[in-house]
């Protein structure tokens, strides 16, 4: 039986080695890490307001002391059957077509800037006109290892963490090193890839989610060998060890 001791030692060493490499730990998947020199450091950037693009849809409200004209304009802003607010799409030429005024170019403007341009046009017929405008299509999409679906941007400056919490838990199997945000920009489709683990993500160019963003969490290649918890690991290797020892004694 003396030969069994090296066999036991070998099995124990194999189990310990696999335990060290097969389970997830804080460095692998922890967010907001500050003291991990292996992680990238991202520079902070100033927040930039979203700029209107072709095919965006806006809604607006016109206010004026002239109740007759205001009521007439207001009636054209609702769909007659169910009283839903009508959204106005930005055409390929960058303009919107609002009731009783000529098309107005708004592409490339922020929502606030567009509201001021529309307000100025209405003041040509209503000197005290005041316009409030909002973006109708304020949504983002999540696919991959953090759930999937299309979700509303319910507040200004929605963060990547808030967006992922809306879609569900960021799975252990997701590649935390290579999170991707697919975003439309003035130069075309842009893919922003970043490591979500360092704290420096806060206030970086990856921090805020914009309308029409697509967040993609791909499956990590190493996830095939990973186990979610040490409890799962012990359960798997206890049964494996039992099988190995049974086979060993049967062969002897």
Q: What is the model's pLDDT at position 180? A: 97
Q: What is the model's pLDDT at position 230? A: 47
Residues 85, 171: Cα–Cα separation, whole Å:
38
Residues 244, 18: Cα–Cα separation, whole Å:
16
- For the chain, helix, strand, coil in percent to 5 are 35, 25, 45
Read off the tokens for 176.
């935390």
Q: What is the CATH number of domain 57-135?
A: 3.30.1950.10
- The residues, ordered by sequence, that sit 6+ positions from 211 with a Cβ below 8 Å of its Cβ are 50, 56, 135, 137, 138, 139, 140, 153
Q: Taking the model in full, what pTM does it have? A: 0.76
Domain with CATH 3.10.560.10 in the chain: 26-48+138-224
Q: Which one, of 162, 171, 176, 167, lies nearest residue 207 by Cα?
A: 162
Q: What is the model's pLDDT at position 244? A: 59
Domain with CATH 3.30.1950.10 in the chain: 57-135
pLDDT tens digit sequence for 229-250: 445 445 555 555 565 556 556 6
Q: What is the model's pLDDT at position 169? A: 80
- The residues, ordered by sequence, that sit 6+ positions from 47 with a Cβ below 8 Å of its Cβ are 157, 208
Q: What is the model's pLDDT at position 63? A: 84
Residues 189, 72: Cα–Cα separation, whole Å:
41
Q: What is the model's pLDDT at position 78? A: 55
Q: Are strands 57-63 and 88-89 parallel, antiparallel or unpaired?
A: antiparallel
Residues 191, 184: Cα–Cα separation, whole Å:
9
Q: Which residues of the chain have pLDDT under 70?
A: 1-24, 69-85, 222-252
DSSP sequence for 145-208: BTB-EEEE--STT-BHHHHHHHH----TTB-TT-EEEEEEETTEEEEEEE-SSBGGGTTSTTSB
Which class for 60: exposed (0-12), middle (13-18), buried (19 or more C-beta within 10 A)? buried
CATH class, domain 26-48+138-224, is alpha beta
Q: What is the model's pLDDT at position 237? A: 52
Q: Which one, of 86, 144, 94, lies nearest residue 114 by Cα?
A: 94
């Amino acid at each position: 039986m003396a030969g069994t001791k090296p066999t036991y030692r070998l099995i124990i060493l194999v189990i310990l080695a696999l335990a060290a490499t097969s389970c997830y730990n804080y460095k692998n998947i922890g967010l907001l890490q500050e003291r991990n020199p292996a992680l990238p450091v991202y520079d902070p950037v100033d927040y930039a307001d979203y700029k209107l693009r072709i095919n965006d849809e806006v809604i607006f409200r016109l206010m004026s002391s002239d109740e007759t004209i205001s009521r007439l304009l207001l009636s054209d802003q609702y769909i007659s059957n169910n009283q839903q607010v009508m959204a106005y799409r930005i055409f390929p030429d960058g303009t919107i077509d609002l009731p009783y005024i000529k098309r107005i170019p708004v592409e490339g403007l922020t929502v606030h800037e567009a509201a001021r341009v529309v307000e100025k046009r209405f003041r040509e017929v209503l000197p005290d006109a005041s316009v409030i405008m909002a973006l109708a299509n304020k949504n983002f999409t999540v696919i991959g290892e953090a759930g999937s679906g299309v979700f509303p941007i319910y507040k200004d400056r929605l963060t990547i963490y808030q967006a992922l919490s809306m879609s569900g838990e960021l799975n252990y199997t997701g590649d935390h090193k290579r999170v991707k945000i697919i975003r439309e920009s003035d130069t075309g489709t842009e893919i922003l890839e970043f490591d979500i683990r360092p704290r420096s993500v806060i206030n970086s160019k990856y921090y805020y989610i914009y309308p029409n963003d697509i967040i993609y969490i791909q499956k990590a290649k190493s996830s095939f060998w990973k186990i979610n918890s040490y409890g799962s690991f012990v359960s798997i290797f206890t049964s494996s060890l039992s099988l190995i020892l049974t086979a060993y004694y049967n062969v002897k």
